[in-house]
Amino acid sequence: MLFTATTGRTGTTSLVELFNRNVAGCIAEHEAQFRPQGLYERLYRAIHLRDMGGLEKRGFGNALKWYDRDDPAVVHLARMRARRIRKLACRVYLESSHAFLSSLGEAMAGEFPELGLIHLVRDPLEVAVSYCHRNAHPVGGPAFLRALGNWHPHPDSRKNCLRPPEGRLTCLQYYLWVWLEAELRFLRFIERHPAIRHFQLETRELNDPDRIAALFGHFRIHLEAGRIDLPPVQNRNRRETQINDQHLTEARWLLRRIEPEVLNRLPCRYGLIELATA
């Protein structure tokens, strides 16, 4: 069982296609949903998951709040998702979703103690700009924060590893904080579960046959074909992701308000320390 530790906007759909193209007996899914099947599961949902809607089925929306306040509903959701995965009876299973770090990870680790984790990571400024292209609501307003909080930890969540700086943040600063929070949650997770296997893959390496071969080898996944079939690059944003001087200025403001030891802990720093001290 493989899951992803990531923020989104990192190539998660390409990762799914990569597995489906190359691994025999594999079922790889992006943001899989729990859809109750049969009387038992419908009753289970009616009793334990009454507030579950479309976002919650994928581990988003209220599921983030369930995790944050230790609501048993997140455990019930993970139990039903795990039941579905076991019924698939596939040789290799992968779900790519940033819900793992945001809500479902701890509960899924309880269901699958030997799960594997792909740490899929992209330049944080590219991630932030890409998200800002998608969240067009007035920055900091209720609609913006609702859109942010439906898919990522809310800035005021109790289980956050990093509290955002005081003051009015720009869109880029909000999503740069999301990236930092995700990386710190990944570190917290592997510290709590040191036996779990994990492999770090950068988004740009999704087109590198040697790194993909190393990924499959790390998890002892046998490839029957003689070569790796790499999927084409996918980008569902209409606008190209480009970093400009204003983005760098906004990022520097945020990074200078974060303790240096926090940045030093990051597995991938992408020049953030240099940017903060420039």
> pLDDT tens for residues 240-269?
789 999 999 999 999 999 999 999 999 999
Return the DSSP state at 59.
T
- Tracing tokens 């334990």 back to the chain, one arrives at 48
Distance CA 190, CA 267 (A): 12
Q: What is the pLDDT of residues 44-96, one digit of tens each?
A: 999 999 999 999 999 999 999 999 999 999 999 999 999 999 999 999 999 99
Distances (CA, A) of 7 to 34, 42, 118, 122, 196: 21, 31, 12, 9, 19
**Structure confidence by residue, pLDDT tens digits, 186-201:** 999 999 999 999 999 9
Domain boundaries, the chain: 2-233+241-277
CATH entry, 2-233+241-277, from 3.40.50, 3.30.230, 1.10.3470, 3.40.720:
3.40.50
